[in-house]
Amino acid sequence: MIKRLLMGLGLFAILLSWQARAELVIEITGGSEAALPIAVVPFGYEGFVPQEDISAIVKNDLERSGRFAPLPQKDLISTPHEKREINFKDWRLLRSEGLLVGKVSSLDGQTYEVQFQLFDVYKAQQLVGRRYKVPAASLRSVAHKIADQVYQALTGEKGVFSTRLAFVSVLKKTDGTRHYALQISDSDGAKPRTVLQSKQAILSPNWSPEGERLSYVSFEKGKAEIFIQEMRSGQRTSLASFKGLNSAPSWSPDGRKLAMTLSKSGNPEIYVMDIATRTLTRVTHSSQAIDTEAVWMPNGSELVFTSDRGGRPQIYKVSATGGRAERLTFEGRYNASPDISPDGRYLTMVHGFNGKFYIAVQDLESGAVNVLTERGKDESPSFAPNGHLILYATEQNGKGILAAVSVDGSFHQRLGETGIDVREPAWSPIRQ
Amino acid sequence: MKLVKLSSVAFALVWLSGCNTLGLNSDDGLMDGEDGVVVEDRGVSAEGLDGDGINGTAIGDGAETQVIVGEDGYTGTDLDDPTNALSNRVVYFEYDSSAVREQDQLTLEAHAAYLADNPTARVRLEGHTDQRGSREYNLALGERRALAIRQILMIQGASANQFQLISFGEERPQSEGDGEVNWQNNRRVELVYTGR
């Protein structure tokens, strides 16, 4: 047992070192003018000082949401940690409506008490406040929860800082072989952990609606097959390994079905599989065209997918039980990789013209198309679960990196990584 | 041996992660005080380490061509003859197209004739695309290219049971980097003989 444990620890250390190197670093590359000013006062400490700087994590979360512009620390007129230390009259001199204060205390360095209070400076009222008692390992999670509550209190929308990202990292060895890792990180790119490693390609991770399972495509058996994997136990199941392609899995909003692309008929077609019974329903019947990349409309009864039935790849919509497909995109010669905003209003896609590929958003009500990116090597767009940001893959200096843009195109950020190619991002849902 | 070692490591990892897993968090029943901070929220979860590290198995590239040249010139089979059209095992495509080009017709005729003459011969058609655009669409496009080659070979006498089709989409480029030269190299179907 001890031997096994040591061996486990050895590999654990190797994984940790790969992960430490793989940490995503966030860089905001374009600000939003509509961002709300907010004062985030560095939290006070009593007893042991934790490794995680909670107020800094909260501040970074709020800033990279694109909705907030935290005031520079030098502008903060004092450093209160609770209400009785706040002189609201002074704070009203700053433009900021929101004031976040808090403190962290620990008697033993193992368990921490964290409390925060968010105030409306003009009304001198608390908007939200909580105290948490957590082990040291959960301090980052607490920081993200605080950021979620601040976000919700001031914008009226749910924060997504406690969600996670899934993505694929590719390490190219000097002998030319590639090592693929399916990784999960916090929404800020921190704490990446590997949930699957393979010498063959891994593609198209997709979260289940409750955020506890991933479906993805793995080439581990030599060709594209679909797997699902439980995040907590690591247990994985081969779901589709039919002759031909098994790819582009997408979970239905009720979590019971998976839309997928199968070419067992001799041509790539969209199918819906009932996960419990493995029963397949064929959705498309275009014997010559490519039909792939189906995603669900939030109503759970329609699918949006890519097809070249009109000669070039464009986005279509069809009932999940089959029938006549309706074409949604008409601008540009190449539209692929659709994703739908949680409210069903917006379609994001890879939009190609003049040999370049951008992330675009189409308002499904008005039909207006807005191209959001400029570099032209962008792919795999995925909506944040609150619909405000779109996460996508792009390239910088020949390396794959992740980036995000606000739906209105005003706010840009890069999640750069050092040395390792990252691609195929998928933003998890908000866990209930 | 390697496999055994890996699985026990995977087990140890799962075991370790199990130990680290904390209870799930919940905000249930918590309320915000009007003024002071009154609510305690215990056990915010850090989710445990997820999953184990399963390593995929590599598949070989199949039959490599071995060129055998004797003193008096070539003595092997047609398939091994470097001067035979059969030695050409890669067919290239235009952007977003699976149409076979004029210049590849002779190559494909030779392969079709070989397959027709050698019913036990088996070939794997590996479809590839360049790295631009959607990975999933490219996976389907790679398959369509492989299907296009199979169709031509079958029209010219090869049998359906002689083929295995795989698409790698853009995942296995022949040339890295940008530019039409690299992209052209990557838009291809490779014919890999797995039986003669």
**Span B59-100, pLDDT tens digits:** 333 333 333 333 445 556 778 888 888 999 999 999 999 999
Residues of B in contact with A234 (CB under 8 A): 14, 17, 50-52
Instruction: Report the percent of chain A where pLDDT is more than 90.
Output: 81
Please state, rounded to an integer, the average pLDDT across all residues of chain B.
71
- What's the ipTM? 0.89
Segment A344-357 shows an average pLDDT of: 95
- Residues B168, B173, B178, B182: is their CA dihedral positive or negative? negative
- pLDDT confidence tier of residue A337, bands split at 50, 70 and 90: very high
- By the 8 A CB rule, do A308 and A262 touch? no
When pLDDT is averaged across residues A244-271 and rounded to a whole number, the result is 97
In tens, the pLDDT along A388-411 reads 999 999 998 888 999 999 999 999
Paired with A30 in beta bridges are A412
- What confidence score (pLDDT) does residue B16 get? 32
pLDDT tens-digit series, residues A104-126: 999 999 999 999 999 999 999 99
Give the global pTM.
0.83
Q: Which 146-205 residues of chain A touch chain B by CB within 8 A?
A: 164, 184, 193-201, 203-204
Cβ distance of A222 and B37 shorter than 8 Å = no
Question: Position A319: which residue type?
Answer: S
Give first-to-last CA distance, chain B, whole Å.
32
Going from the C-alpha of B35 to that of each of A52, B39, B62, the distances in angstroms are 27, 11, 72
What pLDDT was estimated at residue A28?
67
5-44 in chain A: CB under 8 A from chain B:
5, 7-9, 11-12, 15
Quick check: B139 and A224 CB within 8 A?
yes
- Tell me the pLDDT tens digit for each residue of B134-149: 999 999 999 999 999 9
The pLDDT tens digits for B6-29 are: 333 333 333 333 333 222 233 322
The letter for the amino acid at B196 is: R
| Residue range A269-306, pLDDT digits in tens | 999 999 999 999 999 998 889 999 999 999 999 999 99
How many angstroms separate the CA of residue A189 from the nearest CA in chain B?
15
- pLDDT at residue A189 is higher than 50: yes
Task: State the nearest Cα–Cα gap between B71 and chain A, in angstroms.
Answer: 35
All residues at 6 or more sequence positions from B60 whose CB lies less than 8 Å from its CB, including other chains: none
State whether residue A307 is helix, strand or coil. Answer: strand
pLDDT band at A26 (very low <50, low <70, confident <90, very high): low
Contact check, Cβ <8 Å, B171/A219 = yes
- In this complex, is the C-beta atom of A420 within 8 Å of any C-beta atom belonging to chain B? no
Our CA-based measurement puts residue A243 at a distance from the nearest CA of chain B, in whole angstroms, of: 9
What is the Cα–Cα distance from B133 to A49, expressed in whole angstroms? 48
d(CA A75, CA A79): 11
The reported pLDDT for the residue numbered A355 is 87
* Mean pLDDT to the nearest integer, B151-158: 96
Among B30, B139, B147, B171, pick the best mutation site for testing chain A contact (most A Cβ within 10 A): B139
Please state whether beta strands A68-70 and A302-307 pair in parallel, antiparallel, or not at all (unpaired). Answer: unpaired
Task: Check A134 against B42: CB less than 8 A apart.
Answer: yes
A255: left (phi > 0), else alpha (psi -120 to 50), else beta?
left
Measured distance CA(A295)–CA(A383) in Å, rounded: 12
**Residue whose C-alpha is closest to residue A102's, from A147, A156, A159:** A147
CB A384 within 8 A of CB A428: no
Nearest to A247 among B42, B132, B136 (CB): B136
- Cα B82 from Cα A137, distance rounded (Å): 63
pLDDT at A371 over 90: yes
> Which of B44, B52, B134 is facing A132, going by the closest CB pair?
B44
Mean confidence (pLDDT) of chain A: 91
Tell me the per-residue pLDDT of A31-70, one tens digit each, with 9 for 90 and over: 666 789 999 999 999 999 999 999 999 999 999 999 999 9
Question: Residue A23 above 80 pLDDT?
Answer: no
